[in-house]
Amino acid sequence: MPRGPPAVPPVLPDPPAYATPTALALERQSRTPEPFSEAEKTEAERLILSGLKEDLPAGDPTSEVLIPQGISVCAHYVARKEGILCGLPVVALLFRELEPAISLRPLRSDGDKVHAGEPFLELVGPVQPILRGERLSLNFLQRLSGIASLTHRFAEAVEGTGCLLYDTRKTTPGWRALEKYAVRMGGGRNHRRSLSEFALIKDNHRQVLEALGDRSMAAWLERLRARQPDRLVELEVDAVEEVPEALKAGPDLILLDNFSIADLRRAVQIIRGHPGKQPLIEASGGISLENVREVAAAGVDRLAVGKITHSAAALDLGLDLVEVIR
């Protein structure tokens, strides 16, 4: 296998295709995760520069004083615990910034399951820049692999139900593109990447509108579509009793937020029995590994789960020196 950093994958469209009603019906046909995009590369490069400035404001005196110039090493990144790997393109960009002479040989790919004790990436090159990048590279790998690993557990739990797992905007500020990439590597899909992507009428919007005497769901959607006719519109409801009115308004998606399992089933039955436009059904709120399969089995099309990003624990990974090359 040739050495060297992996090539940068092709650019993805932004916003993604499913942000339009026409393309929404095609989302089930794609099971291959979108690769590392140009937007994700740009975010990674920004975070790398910020991370290097934070961690190396005045060099690395330990390595610079104690280790002679011209010493090279072979090192392996190794999993300390089983999980889903994510972050190799970021590590490649990091070491390209630190020292282009370092060669990287991936032993596994993003999205692969790695086992405790298993090496997944080999580095060969000057030891000083490798040590300078060790902690920052592990910070990226551990955070992104933790998200991918937790997402994988949720995705496995709903396998076979026909329900798709989505993330939310509950991401670390500044890390959204990379964290949503990690979700895809874990088997999930990306919901809105920003407020700008499509319209989602939530409870706080409704509270303001209703306080102003504007209570018609149909009127809300009519105004949105008059201004943005090609954009997807999602409407959140908080009770089964609101579902019939939501259906009459004709959204592309109906979001059932914090419903009990019994109420989810009732709402799904009402929506599936509606003679007009059939919106996709999304559930959110209070979804955990313990109840996610039951929620999916209630008949919804999609799950929006914030936990896969905001509550993911870092995956335990390390860097081991294999050989010192004089």
Question: Which pLDDT score, from 0 to 100, does residue 9 have?
Answer: 32
Q: Is the dihedral of CA 148, 20, 222, 276 positive or negative?
A: negative
- Asked whether 304 and 168 are in contact (CB, 8 A), the reply is yes
Rounded Cα gap, residues 35 and 221, in angstroms: 34
| Residues 168-209 pLDDT 10s | 999 999 999 999 999 999 999 999 989 988 999 999 999 999
pTM, two decimals, is 0.90
Question: Which pLDDT score, from 0 to 100, does residue 20 have?
Answer: 58
Catalytic residue among 3, 202, 223, 277: 202
Rounded to the nearest 5 degrees, what angle is found at the Cα of 183, between the Cα atoms of 179 and 133?
Answer: 45
Rounded Cα gap, residues 45 and 66, in angstroms: 30
CATH 3.90.1170.20 matches 28-155+312-325: yes
**Is 241 among the catalytic positions?**
no
198-305: CATH topology is TIM Barrel (3.20.20)
Question: Which pLDDT score, from 0 to 100, does residue 27 have?
Answer: 56
User: What are the start and end residues of each CATH 3.20.20.70 domain in the chain?
Assistant: 198-305
The tokens for 251 are: 């959204």
> Residue 74 corresponds to which amino acid?
C
**Is 257 among the catalytic positions?**
yes
Catalytic residue among 38, 55, 97, 257: 257
According to DSSP, the residues that pair with 283 across neighbouring strands are 256, 303
**Is 170 among the catalytic positions?**
yes
Catalytic residue among 134, 167, 197, 236: 236
- Asked whether 33 and 111 are in contact (CB, 8 A), the reply is yes
User: What are the start and end residues of each CATH 3.90.1170.20 domain in the chain?
Assistant: 28-155+312-325
Q: Determine the angle formed by the axes of helices 176-185 and 127-157, rounding to 10 degrees.
A: 60
**Is 31 among the catalytic positions?**
no
The tokens for 70 are: 């011209």
Question: Which pLDDT score, from 0 to 100, does residue 25 have?
Answer: 52
Catalytic residue among 28, 46, 135, 223: 135
Question: Which pLDDT score, from 0 to 100, does residue 31 have?
Answer: 62
Helix (H) / strand (E) element for 281: namely strand 280-284
Stretches in the chain below the pLDDT threshold 50:
1-18, 23, 26
**Is 176 among the catalytic positions?**
no
